[in-house]
Structure formats: structure tokens, C-alpha cells
Structure 1
């Protein structure tokens, strides 16, 4: 029986690759809540041209957030040292994730991609809102990444600002 418990632990421990602790913010800033609210009616629908960047553009413009209109979406921060909040924005550059989900090995590549954090889970999982993906095409949808499954590339996190 002890042998079976050890095997079960090994199987469950490898379920999502490496688990990485991430800091979740205790409170969600008002602007972040507004960003998420703006996107609610668009779930399953195409925003503007259907590009990933269009999601951030729409949300930031409708909430009158400060940004440069191109690639700086607020205050840059280090997600390894600071808390992540729903409504934060992420820029992915040459990123590769790989691990195991639902008992199957997977990998995901993001050469240049943008997303908004919908939910932050303690196990290192981030639920993202984004479009122009293989999963749901040019319509807004949600999917998860596991920070511990990051193999290469750069993720830049932003706290939106007024």
C-alpha cells in the first residue's frame, strides 16, 4: 500500500509540471476591476480586428488608463518579487511553456502575445483572457498557464495605472 501511495504522489505531483508559488495581491485595484468588467460582454466574441493586442487596447482605452498606445501598458513589475492581481496585463516574447496537463504532455509557444490576468491561483496557475490563439481563434476566451512550466522567453507584467 505504501508503494501505491508513493506512486500516486509522484503522478499527482507531476500533473502540471513544476508548481511555482506566486504572490497573489490581497486586494484588486479599482482600475483592474474595471478592466475585467469591460471585457465581460466580449467573451466568445471578436474584439476589433481579433488580434491579441486589441483586447488590451479596448480595455485600457475604455477605462481611460495611462499607456503609450503601443507596448507599455502601465507600471512594469517583477512577478517573482511582487504580487500579481487579476486585471494585470502580460506581454509574452518568445515564450515556451511545457509540462503535463490532464495526463498529457503539452507545449505552447508565444512569439509575441498579450493577455490580461483574470485569476491568480496559489499553485502558479494564471487564468488569462486573450484572443488570437489556437484554442479559440480571433474571439476572446480564457485559458491557463502555469508559471512553473515556463521553459524559455520573457514575460513582462504590468499593473495598469490611471
Structure 2
């Protein structure tokens, strides 16, 4: 390992606690791209009632995706074994995240929350689109989580399908 590799490793590790390698999909499924395209114009706006679930309801109904109208948003998969794609959906159940972002300690809890993956980064960072958060209120916004900062709870990933 050369000096630059050690420096990069130390920087990533010091700013994000435990990094977890995740697999990014090589390509984005067409349905996932449609979901992102439908949501993009709503950034900073309230979707339906402003609940996190309403983001998924709008996107899945507009794209005619299969879902049960409640909590199954396509095909579930294990993010530790399969690739994550923009446009995938995440269900958070009783989760707690904690770590350091941008040099600041953070702590986030989500009892029951849903989000759409906007971007997948190699360092374990997922950029999410979601609403009904402390940061954005009932408007669609963008924030990041680091999978390696998961302290408690369950994260379930779904790949939308028709």
C-alpha cells in the first residue's frame, strides 16, 4: 500500500466511521430511471400529503409498477450480496445511524421510513430522495446515509418491477 492509498483510507475512515463496501449496479433499470424522472420536478415540493410513503405512491403509480399499496415495492434483495441501483426503494424499520459527516457528528433515527435511492457511491454512501424528515419537513429533499453507520434496526431494499 503506497502513501496516497494510506492517506485516502485514513481520510475516509476518519470521516465516516465504519465504511462498508457496497456494490453499485453497472446500469440503471429502465423502470428505476422512470421513477427518478418522475420525482425530479418535485424537489423542494410537497408530494400528496407530505408523508414519506407518498413519494413511493406517486412514483410507483405513475410508472405502473407492481406493489401491494402498502409496504412491498417490488422485489426485495440483500444489499450485502447484490448491487444497489438508483431508483431502488429502501424501507427503514427501527433504525439508528450514527457517525461523522463533513467533520460533524450526527445521529439519526427512523422508526418507519421510506426513501428512493438517488445515487450510490463506492464508499457506502447512499444519496436519498425522501420527505417527511426533520431536515425537509413535508417536502421532497435530498440527503445521504452511510450504510456502515447503521447502529440498529433493519433496512430492506426493493427493486421496482412491472
Alignment partners' CA distance in 2, 1:34 and 1:134 = 27
TM-aligned CA distance change 1:8 to 1:79, over 3 Å: closer
- C-alpha distance in 1 between matches for 2:10 and 2:55: 39
The aligned residue for residue 32 of structure 1 is 32
Q: Partners in 1 of 2:68 and 2:11 — Cα distance?
A: 46
The unaligned stretches of length 5 or more in structure 2 are 1-5
Query: 1:7: Cα distance to partner?
Result: 9.4
- SS where residue 15 of structure 1 aligns? helix
Moved beyond 6 Å, runs of 4+: 6-9
Name 2:122's counterpart in structure 1: 122
The aligned counterpart of 1:110 is: 110
Q: Deviations over 1:47-104 (max 9, x none)?
A: 0000000000000000000000010000000000000000000000000000011222
The alignment yields a C-alpha RMSD, in angstroms, of 1.5
Cα deviation, 1:98-120, whole Å, max 9, x if unaligned, reads: 00112221110000000000000
Distance in structure 1 (CA, Å) of the matches to 2:128 and 2:88: 10
> For the residues of structure 2 that align with 1:85 and 1:7, how far apart are their CA atoms?
29
Residue 67 of structure 1: aligned partner? 67
Q: How does 1:112-151 map to 2 (within 5 A)?
A: 112-151=112-151
Output the TM-score relative to the length of structure 2: 0.93
Provide the secondary structure at the position in 1 that maps to 2:61: helix
1:13 positional shift: 2.5
Which stretches in structure 1 are left out of the alignment for 5+ residues?
1-5
Flag the 1:119–1:67 CA change in 2: closer, same or farther, 3 A: same
TM-score, length-scaled by structure 1: 0.93
